[in-house]
């Protein structure tokens, strides 16, 4: 547990107004094949990067609706982006990142080269699981290979149900989440939101055992209901949990065999099947 606690990361969130502005700009329409909207919530291996021939093993790239995250063990940087017909695809300085002192220097150097490459990208090409980012003159800047999703890591999950003693529960003792809380386990760190605010902290996976040491970080106002649910979800993830996989869902149980959390793919509709 002492080792795991060292992976706890304090988020430094900057440029929040810029990110919100980008989100509002992009929410009105999408440009398939141009604005990365077709690649939301996908994960990739970095296989080629202009300006370096470093070892990219352990580097995972996560693309979400408004940003792209560079992730290495216990280290990350997230860059917002937007697409406009006039400026094409455009990336902005990191809006969230982990403490550089916690990372390996080689990871930091790759991240800096990755960031440098982002600023000249204007297009991308997707073919047979390979994603190539291109500059204005269409020469390649970086190449990503689709990551095969297995187990609990490298995937965005919706927290569909969680244990909250005292509430009306299903036959497993779990209650339905009222909002759309989510969690992603990526290179030892947790991302997403337990209800209101964001996750901050880390995790360790060993075989079919998961240990999470994480909490909520706030960057705004939460209603009492959201705050209550967020704290209950954080509590449900505490301790050593066993991982049970079935039909593309995951059930986490504690050492006494009690169900604690049910995870489903984030893309699954709220009315989708959860057992």
Q: Where are the domains of the chain?
A: 8-146, 156-265
* Contact in structure between 35 and 83 (CB atoms under 8 Å): yes
Q: What kind and span of H or E run contains 224?
A: helix 224-236
d(CA 200, CA 177): 20
Neighbours of 32 (CB within 10 A): 9
Burial 67-77 (b: 16+ CB within 10 A, else e): bbbbbbbbbbb
57-71 confidence digits (pLDDT tens):
999 999 998 999 999
| Domain 156-265, classified CATH 2.40.128.270, yes or no | yes
Please say if the pLDDT value at position 242 is more than 70: yes
Q: Let me know if the fold of 8-146 is the same as that of 156-265.
A: yes
Going from the C-alpha of 94 to that of each of 108, 185, 262, the distances in angstroms are 13, 20, 32
What is the widest separation between alpha-carbon atoms in the chain? 61
- Check residue 99 and give its pLDDT: 75
| Domain 8-146, classified CATH 2.40.128.270, yes or no | yes
Contact partners, residue 127, CB within 8 Å, separation at least 6: none
Q: What is the percent of the chain with per-residue pLDDT over 70, rounded to a whole number?
A: 83
* Contact in structure between 154 and 258 (CB atoms under 8 Å): no
* Residue 176: alpha-carbon gap to chain centroid: 22
Please say if the pLDDT value at position 14 is more than 70: no
15 versus 177: the higher-pLDDT residue is 177
- Check residue 247 and give its pLDDT: 85
pLDDT, the chain, mean: 86
pLDDT band at 203 (very low <50, low <70, confident <90, very high): very high
């Amino acid at each position: 547990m002492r080792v795991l606690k060292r992976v706890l990361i304090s988020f430094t969130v900057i440029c929040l107004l810029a990110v919100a502005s980008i989100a509002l700009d992009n929410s009105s329409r999408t440009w398939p094949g141009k604005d990365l909207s077709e690649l939301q919530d996908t994960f990739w291996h970095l296989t080629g990067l202009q300006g370096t021939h470093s070892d990219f093993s352990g580097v995972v790239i996560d693309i979400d609706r408004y940003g792209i995250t560079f992730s290495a063990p216990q280290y990350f940087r997230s860059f917002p982006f937007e697409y406009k017909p006039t400026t094409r695809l455009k990336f902005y300085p990191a809006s969230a990142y982990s403490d550089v002192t916690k990372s390996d220097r080689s990871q930091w150097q790759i991240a800096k080269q990755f960031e440098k490459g982002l600023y000249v990208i204007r297009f991308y090409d997707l073919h047979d699981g390979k994603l190539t980012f291109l500059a204005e003159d269409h020469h390649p800047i970086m190449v990503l290979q689709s990551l095969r999703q297995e187990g609990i890591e490298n995937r965005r999950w919706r927290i569909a149900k969680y244990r909250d003693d005292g509430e009306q529960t299903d036959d497993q003792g779990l209650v339905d989440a009222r909002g759309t809380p989510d969690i992603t386990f990526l290179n030892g760190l947790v991302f997403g939101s337990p209800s209101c605010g964001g996750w901050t902290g880390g995790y360790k996976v060993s075989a079919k055992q998961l240990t999470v040491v994480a909490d909520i970080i706030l960057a705004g106002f939460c209603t009492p209901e959201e705050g209550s649910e967020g704290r209950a979800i954080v509590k449900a993830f505490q301790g050593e949990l066993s991982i049970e996989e079935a039909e593309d869902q995951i059930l986490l149980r504690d050492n006494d065999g009690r169900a604690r959390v049910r995870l489903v793919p984030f893309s699954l509709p709220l009315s989708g099947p959860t057992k």
